[in-house]
């Protein structure tokens, strides 16, 4: 609860034209300036209740440290921030590389952070990028606390959620419809004659791209009179060993699938390797699909049937959007990119 007294509230109003200071935050939160500084630098050393009180005041005042506040006011920091889930996946590296190339050509610097799929870590990284005075921010997906979007809008920072396309969202999105795209995969496999499906998906918690691909696969199967049994849906980390282990588990069933849909190419490549190790012929005995169309998907034998994600175009469109003047709230934009099915040798008609 805000316990600011009448005289103090009047003093704050009289200074409304000036950016809030560290002293303002400390006074309003009822702590020392040293405690506020400690929270900004090493929040784990501040008690949870005090952290929450300080953060609420920071949000209410729109406070940023002095140097960043000057940069935000002048709109001349010439830096753009990007927060991605991981540096280990090539799909993020491709977008970031294209984004950096486009920004560099316009005299801008990219500041990059990786959240490890941790929502709290992502929030702290976004705050740190704001502190450093970024002019714009690329986010990955939309699965985050609404307060983060409100913080960005309150501070006038232009931002976009990428890898997703949500035309009814109140926040800008640049990407493709993950849910609808999975209908292309299921429809193609169903037309080949497959009726026994399984899915190796990414972990859905905190990952709206993975959860939408799962939902899209289920929807498409239901539309064709089929059902994805819980035991045939395995959520795994995006690594090849996890893809191999999941495929091994699915094929050990008394009724193994004839088609395995994977939530990304890394899982699919692991599944392909394990299928070969187990003695299955791909695609005669088993069809496998991926999502992303990494370079290796074209080079492996058999080539991987997958969804081509327009990663470079996403990087270019994101750069162009973030470099436009004004906050993102000045007319919410949604840019839809096309994600198309690429058919290669890992899929075919079921043998039985």
pLDDT at residue 330, as a whole number = 53
Residue finishing a domain among 16, 36, 63: 63
Say if residues 28 and 2 touch (Cβ distance below 8 Å): yes
pLDDT at residue 242, as a whole number = 98
φ, ψ dihedrals at 4, nearest 5°:
-60, 130
Q: What is the CA radius of gyration of the chain?
A: 24
**pLDDT tens digits for 324-341?**
876 655 557 899 999 999
Say if residues 152 and 123 touch (Cβ distance below 8 Å): no
Q: Is 351 a member of any domain?
A: no
DSSP 225-284: T----GGGEEEE-SSHHHHHHHHHHHHTSSS--SEEEESSHHHHHHHHHHHHHTT--TTT
CA-to-CA separations, 129 to 139, 177, 178, 324, 350, in angstroms, rounded:
12, 28, 28, 19, 51
Sign of CA dihedral 273, 277, 282, 287: negative
Which residue is listed with tokens 């069809």?
A: 287
Same domain, 218 and 297: yes
Q: Is 108 a member of any domain?
A: yes
Which residues have CB under 8 Å from 9's CB, separation 6+? none
**pLDDT tens digits for 83-96?**
999 988 888 999 99
Same domain, 212 and 262: yes
Say if residues 282 and 302 touch (Cβ distance below 8 Å): yes
The pLDDT of 230-243, averaged and rounded, is 96
CA geometry: angle 337, 343, 348, nearest 5 deg = 145
Residue finishing a domain among 63, 89, 109: 63
Same domain, 285 and 192: yes
- Residue 309, preceding bond cis, omega within 30 degrees? no
pLDDT over 70, % of the chain: 89
pLDDT at residue 331, as a whole number = 56
Task: Classify 196 as helix, strand or coil.
Answer: coil
Same domain, 215 and 300: yes
pLDDT at 33 over 80: yes
Classify residue 252 as exposed, middle or buried by CB count within 10 Å of its CB (0-12, 13-18, 19+).
exposed
CA geometry: angle 294, 299, 303, nearest 5 deg = 85
pLDDT at residue 10, as a whole number = 46
Same domain, 127 and 189: no
**Domain containing residue 14: CATH number:** 1.10.260.40
Q: Is 1 a member of any domain?
A: no
Q: How confident is the model at residue 15 (pLDDT cuts 50, 70, 90)?
A: very low
Which range of residues forms the domain containing residue 184?
179-309
Overall number of domains in the chain: 3
Residue 10: CB atoms within 10 A of its CB come to 10
Least confident of 1-15, 21-35, 180-194, 299-313: 1-15
Residue finishing a domain among 20, 39, 63: 63
Same domain, 172 and 316: yes
Q: Is 141 a member of any domain?
A: yes
**Domain containing residue 92: CATH number:** 3.40.50.2300
> By C-alpha distance, which of 135, 12, 131 is closest to 68?
131
Same domain, 109 and 130: yes
Q: How confident is the model at residue 68 (pLDDT cuts 50, 70, 90)?
A: low
Q: Is 348 a member of any domain?
A: no
Q: Beta 340-342 vs 306-308: how paired, if at all?
A: antiparallel
Same domain, 139 and 226: no
CA-to-CA separations, 41 to 77, 82, 127, in angstroms, rounded:
21, 21, 12
pLDDT at residue 66, as a whole number = 57
pLDDT at 13 over 50: no
Same domain, 45 and 94: no
pLDDT at residue 99, as a whole number = 96
φ, ψ dihedrals at 111, nearest 5°:
-105, 125
pLDDT at residue 89, as a whole number = 85
3-state secondary structure 204-218: CCCCHHHHHHHHHHH
Same domain, 304 and 333: no
Q: Is 72 a member of any domain?
A: no
For the record, the structure tokens of 127 come out as: 């705050």
Q: Is 346 a member of any domain?
A: no
pTM: 0.78
Same domain, 159 and 232: no
Q: Is 19 a member of any domain?
A: yes
> By C-alpha distance, which of 239, 252, 259 is closest to 347?
259
φ, ψ dihedrals at 335, nearest 5°:
-115, 115
Same domain, 190 and 301: yes
**pLDDT tens digits for 261-281?**
999 999 999 999 999 999 999
**pLDDT tens digits for 162-207?**
999 999 999 999 999 999 999 999 999 999 999 999 999 999 998 9
d(CA 18, CA 30): 21
pLDDT at 72 over 70: no
């Amino acid at each position: 609860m805000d316990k600011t007294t009448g005289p103090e509230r009047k003093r704050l109003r009289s200074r409304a034209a000036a950016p809030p200071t560290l002293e303002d935050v400390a006074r309003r939160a009822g702590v020392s300036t040293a405690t506020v500084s400690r929270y900004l630098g090493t929040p784990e050393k501040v008690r949870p209740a005090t952290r929450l009180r300080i953060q609420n005041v920071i949000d209410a005042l729109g406070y940023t440290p002095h140097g960043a506040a000057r940069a935000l006011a002048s709109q001349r920091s010439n830096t753009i921030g990007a927060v991605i889930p991981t540096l280990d996946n090539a799909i993020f590296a491709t977008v970031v590389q294209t984004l950096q190339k486009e920004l560099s050509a316009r005299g801008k610097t990219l500041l990059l952070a990786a959240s490890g799929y941790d929502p709290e870590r992502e929030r702290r990284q976004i705050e740190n990028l704001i502190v450093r005075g970024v002019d714009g921010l690329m986010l990955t997906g939309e699965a985050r606390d609404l307060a983060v979007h409100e913080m960005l809008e309150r501070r006038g920072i232009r931002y976009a959620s990428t890898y997703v396309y949500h035309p009814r969202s109140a926040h800008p999105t640049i990407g493709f419809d993950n849910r609808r795209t999975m209908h292309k995969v299921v429809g193609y496999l169903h037309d080949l004659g497959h009726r026994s499906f399984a899915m190796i998906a990414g972990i859905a918690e905190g990952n709206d791209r993975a959860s939408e691909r799962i939902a899209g696969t289920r929807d498409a199967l239901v539309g064709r009179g089929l059902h994805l049994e819980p035991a045939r849906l395995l959520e795994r980390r995006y690594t090849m060993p996890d893809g191999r282990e999941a495929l091994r588990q699915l094929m050990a069933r008394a009724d193994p699938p004839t088609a395995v849909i994977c939530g990304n190419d890394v899982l699919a490549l692991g599944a392909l390797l394990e299928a070969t190790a187990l003695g299955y012929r791909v695609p005669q005995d088993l069809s496998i699909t991926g999502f992303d169309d990494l370079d290796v998907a074209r080079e492996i034998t058999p080539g991987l049937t997958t969804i081509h994600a327009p990663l470079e175009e996403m990087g270019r469109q994101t750069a162009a959007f973030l470099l436009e003047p004004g906050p993102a709230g000045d007319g919410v934009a949604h840019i839809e990119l096309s994600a198309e099915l690429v058919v290669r040798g890992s899929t075919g008609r079921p043998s039985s």
